Chains A and B, each alone.
Chain A
C-alpha cells in the first residue's frame, strides 16, 4: 500500500525527514519497503499486515505517525450538506440479506458537471499509481485512499427505475465490468442490481453500462460494507483484484462508511457542482462498542517491562483508544469501530509494546527446564549420516513430490496406494512419493550427465502411502551407488566398479557401528535382496534392470540401490557398548584355499565351517577370493581363514589339527571343494 509524505502532513505536523519517518514506521510494524521521490513529494510503500485494514489509508497511517511521535492528529470532521426535501430524488434501495451487506447508503447528487479533475487531485492519485478518469470517479478514489472506504458512483439515470437491490446473482445473469470484460456470473455472486439486472459486482468492480461519464448529470454514490468472507470467495472465484476488493476482504470500518460518503459529497459539490438530492440507507452503521480491561501488571509481566499506567494510557490514547481507569492498575479501553483486530487484553499489550518500542525492551535469558536430555533421534540420524560420509557417500535431498512418470519409469504402479496432490502447480508436484530410490536414481542420472565418473548418494526422507482414511509416512534411508570408484594405492590408480557387494559392505559397516548384530541379507527371485534385521524385514538392496536403466537414460553403467526402514534401524540400534575382555591367550590361525562351484552358497559354506569348528573355532572369514584365469569357469577361488581360540587357555596344535581336518573333509564332502 502506498501513501505520500505530503498527504500524511495533511493530518499530522511531521517535522522529520521522509527517511526517518520510514524508519520510524518500520519499527512500529508498518514496514516501509520502498521510499521514492515523486516530484516535490515522497511515496512510501508500506507492507500492511492482514490484521490491520485500518492502515490501508492515509488517515490510518497518519494516526500511527501521531502515536509514534506524540503529534496531534488533525482528524477531519465531515458534516453533510442538507438537501432540500423537494429536491430529493426518488430512489429505492433494498438489501436481500443483511449478512451479505450490513450497511448500504446511497447518496444522490443531481445536476453536476463531470469533467477533468484539477491538477492537484490528478497528481495525488498518480503518486499512488491510480489513473485519473474524471472528477467524480477521482473523488471516490481519493476518498478510498484517504479514508479507506471504497465508494462507487453510478450514473443514476442509467439505473432502471432508479433502484438499487443488493442481492445474489441468478443463473445466466451477465455483466460487462469496468475492465471491459463481459462476465457471465455464477449464481450466488453478491451483486448490486437495479430493477432488472446486475450493475456491479458488489465491492469488487462496477459495471460499464452505469459508469459515470462526461454526460452524466445525476449520480448515486454508494458507500457500503460487504461481508469480507463472501467478497474474498467471489474475488478468488472471478480472479479479480481491485483496490476496493482488497480493502473489503480485510474488513472495512462500518463506523466510517457514512463519513466517507459525506466527505465525497462535499468534494463533489466543490469540484463538480450539483446539489445534494437526498440519501437512502439500509442497515445500520453502528457497531456494538466493545470494551477491554487491561491490567498493567499483566502487560509488564508478559513483556518483562516496567511501563507505568500513565505511559500505557498515553500510548493508547494516542492510538485513539479511549481509556478509563477501572482501578489503580486496570484500564478500561474502549475499542473504536475501526479496530476490529483488538479482541482481548493481549492485543492491547502488543499495541503498547509497539509504540513503546520493541527496542526498549530488555534482553534476558529465561530458565530453560529441559525435560529429556538424552540423545534425540535427530542426533542418531546425524550419526548415521556421519558414518555414511565416512564411507564416501554424499548426502542428497530430493523432492518428496514427484511426477507420476518418475514412478512409471521406475516400474512402480503410479496409482495403487499413491497419495495425489489436489492442487499441484505442475506435473512435478503430482503425487507424494511412495519410494525414495526413484528420486535418487534421478539424481544419479543427472550427475552422470554432468560427466561424473562416480556417484554415491544417500538421503534420509519420508515416503508416503495412502490408507483408508489416513496417510502413512515412513522415514527411509536410501542409498544409490553408480560408476567407477577410483583410488590410489602406492602402486598407482585402482579402479573398482560399484556392485551389490559394495552396498553390502556399506550396510555391514553402518549396522555394526549402530550395534545391530542380528542382520541378514536374503536374495529374492526378482533381483532384490531383502534386508532382515532381528528377523523383521527392514528394506532391500536392488540392482537396476537394464530396462529401468534405459528409462532413466543411463548407459553402460550399473546402479545399485538400498532402501532401509529408518525406524526399524533406530529400534534395533544398540549403542550401549559393553567392554569385552581382550583375549589373553594366543590364537591358532589356519587358512584353507580352495575352489568351489558357484552353485554352492558361500553363506552356507561359512555356516558349515562355524558349526563344524565348535567350540574351538572362534571366527571364520573370507580373506581372499578370485575368479578368472587359473580358475575354471563356474567356480570361484576362495581363501578362508579359521581362527581357533579359547578364552581361558592356550590351544595346542594337537587339539586344533583334528578339528581343522574335520572342517576340510566336511567342505570336500558337502561342498565338493578342491583344495589348491
Chain B
C-alpha cells in the first residue's frame, strides 16, 4: 500500500470525527492489532533489503504523527463543556481592569528630556529652590543693578538677607562646579520662580531644565551638535533648527535656539506668531568669568550650557494653550496624559 494514500485517508478520517466513539473506531482502524499501521509494518520483511530501512522509518513517523493527532482530538473532547461557549460574555460589556493613574505632563516631559541627555552620557542632578544671591546672580556673571537682571526678576525672602527663590536653574551650574572637577556632563530639572503677573502664558512658578558640559576641548560646534540631536529626539527627525546670536551674561558666545514651527512646519501660523519659528532654548559657551568664580582655569576648560522652559515645550508638544492648566490639577486634564 502507498504511504501517501494512507496519509490522505488519515486526514479525511480525522476531519469526520465528531464523537468519542468515532475517535475510538479510528484508533482501532489504524493502530489496532490488525490496523493499517500493523499491516504496513508486517509488509516490511517482503520488501527488497535496500528499501526496508527507509520504509520502516516512514511508517514509524506516520504512526507517531497519528498518535499525536489522536491525542489532540482526545483532549478537545475532554475540555469542560461551558468553556466552549464564548457567547456567554457579551463583548459589549465593560472590560474589567485596575485603573492606572496618570503622570503629570510636566514630569513626563522632564523625564523624557532627562532620558535623552542621560542616553548621551549626562547625569541628572537636583539643586535647592531657595538659593543665595551669589549662586543665582553674581556667580553667573550677572552684575547687581544691571538691566540684565530684569530678565531674571526674583522673589526675595523676608528676614533672610541674600536668600531668594531661584529664578532659573542655572545656579545649579555654580553648585556643581564648586564641588566637582571636570569633566562634567549634567542636566538639572526643577522648579523656578519669578514674580510675573499671571496670564495664559505666565506664572510665578514654572519648571526649567539646565544642562552643561565642561571639559578640556568643548567647542561651540559641539553645543550645536548636542542641541540638534536633542531637538530631533524630542520633536522628531524632520524638525529644522536655527541658532541665533543672543545675550546671556553667563555665556559667550550666546545663542537662542529656534525650531521650525511644529504646527505649521515653518509656514507661519498663530502659534509661532507668523514667524515659522519657535524659540525653545537659550544656550552658549560658559563665560570665562563663571569658570573663574568657581576656580576653574578658563585657559584649560571650556564648556557649554543650555536652559529651557519645560511648560513651553509641554504646551507645544501637547497643544495646550493656557499654562495655568498645569497647576489646577483638574483630573479631566491630568487623565489625558
* Shortest beta-carbon distance from B123 to chain A in Å: 6
Measured CB to CB, the nearest residue on chain B to A301 is B219
Q: What are the nearest 3 A-B pairs in CB distance?
A: A304-B221, A29-B245, A49-B247
**Residue of A28, A389, A394, A419 touching B245 (CB-CB under 8 A):** A28
Q: Which residues of chain A (534-584) have a CB below 8 Å from chain B?
A: none
Within 8 A of A (CB), among B307-336: 326-332, 334-335
Interfacial chain B residues near A469, Cβ < 8 Å: 160
A466 to B130 CA separation, bound complex (whole angstroms) = 11
Q: Judge if B17 is at the interface, Cβ distance under 8 Å.
A: no
Q: Is A378 a contact partner of B245 (Cβ separation < 8 A)?
A: no
Residues of A within 8 A of B (CB): 26-29, 31, 49-52, 229, 232-233, 249-250, 301-305, 344, 346-347, 349-350, 353-354, 358-359, 361-373, 376-379, 382, 385-386, 388-401, 419-425, 429, 432, 443, 446-447, 450, 452, 455-458, 461-462, 464, 466, 469-471, 473, 487-490
Q: Decide if B288 is an interface residue (CB 8 Å cutoff).
A: yes
Which chain A residues lie closer than 8 Å to B99 at the CB level?
Answer: 392, 487
Q: Are A361's CB and B327's CB within 8 A?
A: no
Q: Does residue B106 face the partner (Cβ distance < 8 Å to A)?
A: yes
Interface residues of B (CB under 8 A from A): 94, 96, 98-104, 106-107, 111, 114, 118, 120-126, 128-130, 145-148, 150-151, 155-160, 163, 165, 180, 183-185, 189, 191, 193, 195-197, 204-205, 213, 215, 217-222, 224-226, 228-229, 242-247, 249, 252-256, 285, 287-288, 302, 326-332, 334-335
Contact partners of A443 in chain B: CB under 8 A: 329
Kindly list chain A residues whose C-beta atoms are within 8 Å of the C-beta of B100. 389-390, 392
Q: Is the pair B327, A395 in contact by a Cβ cutoff of 8 Å?
A: no
Given A50-B146, A370-B123, A473-B130, list of 10 further CB < 8 A pairs? A368-B120, A370-B185, A371-B183, A389-B103, A395-B104, A400-B193, A419-B158, A420-B158, A432-B157, A446-B328
Task: Provide the main secondary structure of the chain B interface.
Answer: mixed
Q: Is the CB of B124 within 8 A of A393?
A: no
Q: Which of A26, A388, A420 contacts B157 (CB 8 A)?
A: A420
Which residues of chain B are within 8 angstroms of A446 by Cβ–Cβ distance? 328-330
> In the complex where A394-B334, A398-B327, A488-B94 touch, is A361 in contact with B226 (Cβ < 8 A)?
no
- The interface residues of chain B lying within 8 Å CB-to-CB of A31 are 244, 246, 256
A350-B245, A420-B159 are contacts. A366–B224 as well, Cβ < 8 Å? Answer: no
- Interface residue SS majority, chain A: mixed
How far does the Cβ of A318 sit from chain B's closest Cβ, in whole Å?
Answer: 15
What residues of chain A lie closer than 8 Å to B122, measured between beta carbons?
368, 370
Q: CB distance A455 to B331 under 8 Å? A: yes
The CA-CA distance from A27 to B275 in the complex, in Å, is 13
A233 to B144, CA, bound (A): 11
Contact B111 A382 (CB under 8 A): yes
Question: Which residue on chain B has the smallest CB distance to residue A458?
Answer: B101
Chain B residues contacting A358 (CB-CB under 8 Å) are 224, 243-245, 253, 255
**Is the pair B147, A52 in contact by a Cβ cutoff of 8 Å?**
no
Give chain B nearest CB distance to A478 CB in angstroms.
Answer: 12
With known contacts A370-B122, A425-B197, A447-B330, A400–B205 Cβ distance under 8 A: yes
Docked Cα-Cα span, A302 to B252, in Å, equals 10
Pairwise interchain contact B101-A366, C-beta atoms closer than 8 A: no
Whether the Cβ atoms of A364 and B221 lie closer than 8 Å is: yes
